[in-house]
């Protein structure tokens, strides 16, 4: 590559969204994975729980609780998935958990037995720790070590896009074809994506002759980069991670903000119906929230890129606290829509900020090693959202009191993130 061509390529690559063809392809693949994970385990609960409760006569609080139990079990499996990723690469986990999810979601909606339902719900939550958490986050950390914030800003659009589309589509399928047909359609969609991902998913950019961040490297430089990545052995053992304060500060702090997100979104339809809205109108408002979230996902990625992940997280926590206040009071149509708008802007942000925070502190080569534990912590705390909502409904009969507690959690999360300091890398 001549000096002139190198300078031109470097100038083009300095553009924030210059990811290259393969880079954009990986972003879009991860976007679909996030869409599926959010739909099955969060947004879909607005439809699934009510539909199956009515059809089977099961208790709603008990049904929601099993999503939490599955999330807790997923802590162990996040370790397992992370270990497999370190040893075999992210693709194995990504594709394998998608195939198993297709099976689990089918039984989720077809069984008449509550025990089988509980196992299926837990399985869906556990498997999502693979295809929509550890695997895609690692893939993007490998592909975009410097531009990870903005890349995640694009890929995590899958979450608000899911909020906008998934409840509407599933509500339509259920109304026109029945509950079981709705679950069959979801299972088929996941299965097709799993098959395509066998050929689509790439662990690193070097596998297809590309450079991280779409940098203008020669073929020899790319080959050398690939060799270095393969030879690298992370010094971050599980024992070292457990002793490192940053591990816990990131895991708990970001996990609390994820819990707040899931607690709001998974039962927003119920909250709006409690405020007097019909189900159709409430589902429509959820879709509107998802529409705002599409822009929010990119906005948080852009803020991350410009001012850093920690500062972006402070703003994120404060933004959520204000949104929750609006949802608590819901005095009129203006406050309701403003609250929905603010939550919508936030929806895609947390799943952008979590991997970006890990990458910012631990770096590209150590991301997979650090993420296997930190992701487990965030996943476990996030899973508490379902039990949190269930207990709020059981003790107070509404979600309003629970929202007050969520505001407190936003403050605690911001404080923990503030305490994160640069990590000192241990020697092998």
Give yes or no for residue 200 having a pLDDT over 60: yes
| pLDDT at res. 10 | 45
Report the alpha-carbon distance of residue 360 to residue 362 in Å, rounded.
6
Given a contact cutoff of 8 angstroms between Cβ atoms, the answer to whether 148 and 213 are in contact is no
pLDDT at 14 over 70: no
Encoded tokens for 177: 């074809």
Q: Is the pLDDT of residue 428 over 60?
A: no
CA distance 315 to 380: 24
Token pair belonging to 370: 């650090």
Best-predicted range by mean pLDDT (101-105, 115-119, 142-146): 101-105
The per-residue pLDDT for 406 is: 92
What sign results for the dihedral spanned by CA atoms 202, 43, 394, 319? Answer: positive
What pLDDT is recorded for position 12? 47
Give the per-residue pLDDT at 4: 43
Q: Per-residue pLDDT tens for 308-344?
A: 889 999 999 999 999 999 888 876 778 888 888 898 8
For residue 186, give every residue at least 6 positions away whose Cβ sits within 8 Å of its Cβ, in sequence order, or none: 39, 40, 44, 105, 109, 170
Burial of 57 (0-12, 13-18, 19+ CB in 10 A): exposed
Spatial separation of the C-alpha atoms in residues 287 and 164, rounded to whole Å: 3
In three-state secondary structure terms, 245 is helix
pLDDT of 3 strictly over 60? no
pLDDT for 249-302, tens place per residue? 999 999 999 999 888 887 787 778 777 778 778 878 877 887 888 888 889 888
pLDDT for res 119: 93
Residue ranges of alpha helices (H) inside 14-44 are: 21-38
Tell me the average pLDDT across 352-378. 86
Confidence band for 207, pLDDT divided at 50, 70 and 90: confident
Contacts with 228 (C-beta within 8 Å, 6 or more apart), sequence order: none
Work out the burial of residue 185: count CB atoms within 10 Å of its CB; fewer than 13 is exposed, 13-18 middle, 19 or more buried.
middle
| 34 within 8 A of 159, measured Cβ to Cβ | yes
Q: Rounded distance, CA 98 to CA 104, Å? A: 10
- Is residue 11 predicted with pLDDT exceeding 60? no
Per-residue model confidence as pLDDT tens digits over 32-65? 999 999 899 888 887 888 888 888 888 887 887 8
**Crossing angle of helices 309-329/279-307, nearest 10°?**
160
Q: Which of 219, 199, 224, 230 is nearest to 25 (CA)?
A: 199
**How is the chain split into domains, by residue range?**
20-418
Q: What is the mean pLDDT of residues 207-221?
A: 76
Q: What is the mean pLDDT of the chain?
A: 85
pLDDT band at 229 (very low <50, low <70, confident <90, very high): low
Q: Judge whether residue 220 has pLDDT over 80.
A: no
Q: Which CATH superfamily is domain 20-418 in?
A: MFS general substrate transporter like domains (1.20.1250.20)
The answer to whether 124 and 37 have CB atoms below 8 angstroms apart is no
Give the model's pLDDT for residue 16. 57
Mean pLDDT confidence for 87-98: 95
In the chain, the percentage of residues whose pLDDT exceeds 70 is: 91
228: pLDDT strictly greater than 80: no
At what angle are helices 45-56 and 114-129 packed, to 10 degrees? 170
């Amino acid at each position: 590559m001549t000096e002139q061509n190198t300078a031109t390529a470097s100038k083009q690559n300095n553009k924030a969204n210059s990811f290259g063809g393969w880079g954009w392809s990986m972003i879009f693949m991860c976007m679909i994975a996030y869409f599926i994970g959010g739909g099955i385990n969060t947004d879909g609960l607005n439809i699934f729980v009510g539909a199956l409760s009515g059809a089977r006569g099961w208790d709603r609080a008990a049904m929601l609780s099993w999503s939490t139990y599955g999330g807790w079990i997923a802590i162990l499996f996040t370790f397992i998935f992370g270990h497999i990723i370190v040893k075999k690469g992210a693709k194995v986990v990504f594709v394998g958990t998608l195939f198993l999810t297709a099976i689990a979601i089918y039984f989720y909606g077809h069984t008449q037995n509550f025990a089988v339902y509980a196992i299926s719900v837990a399985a869906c939550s556990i498997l999502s720790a693979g295809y929509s958490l550890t695997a895609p986050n690692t893939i993007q950390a490998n592909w975009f070590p410097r531009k990870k914030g903005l890349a995640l800003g694009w890929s995590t659009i899958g979450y608000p896009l899911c909020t906008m589309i998934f409840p509407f589509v599933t509500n339509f399928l259920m109304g026109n074809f029945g509950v079981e047909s709705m679950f069959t359609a979801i299972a088929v969609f996941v299965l097709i994506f799993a098959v395509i991902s066998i050929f689509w998913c790439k662990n690193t950019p070097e596998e297809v002759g590309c450079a991280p961040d779409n940098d203008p490297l020669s073929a020899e430089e790319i080959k050398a980069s690939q060799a270095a990545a393969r030879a690298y052995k992370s010094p971050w053992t599980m024992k070292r991670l457990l002793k490192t304060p940053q591990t816990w500060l990131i895991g708990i702090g970001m996990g609390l903000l994820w819990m707040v997100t899931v607690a709001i979104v998974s039962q927003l339809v119920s909250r709006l119906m409690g405020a007097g809205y019909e189900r159709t109108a409430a589902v429509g408002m959820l879709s509107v929230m998802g529409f705002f979230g599409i822009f929010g996902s990119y906005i948080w990625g852009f803020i991350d890129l410009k001012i850093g992940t920690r500062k972006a997280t402070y703003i994120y926590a404060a933004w959520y606290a204000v949104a929750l206040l609006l949802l608590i009071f819901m005095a009129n149509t203006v406050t309701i829509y403003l609250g929905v708008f603010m939550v919508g802007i936030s929806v895609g942000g947390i799943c952008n900020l979590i991997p970006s925070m890990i990458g910012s502190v631990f770096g590209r080569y150590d991301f997979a090693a650090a993420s296997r534990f930190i992701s487990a912590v965030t996943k476990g705390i996030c899973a508490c959202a379902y039990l949190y909502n269930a207990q709020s409904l059981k003790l107070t009969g509404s979600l309003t009191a629970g929202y007050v507690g969520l505001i407190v959690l936003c403050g605690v999360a911001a404080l923990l993130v503030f305490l994160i300091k640069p990590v000192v890398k241990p020697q092998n």
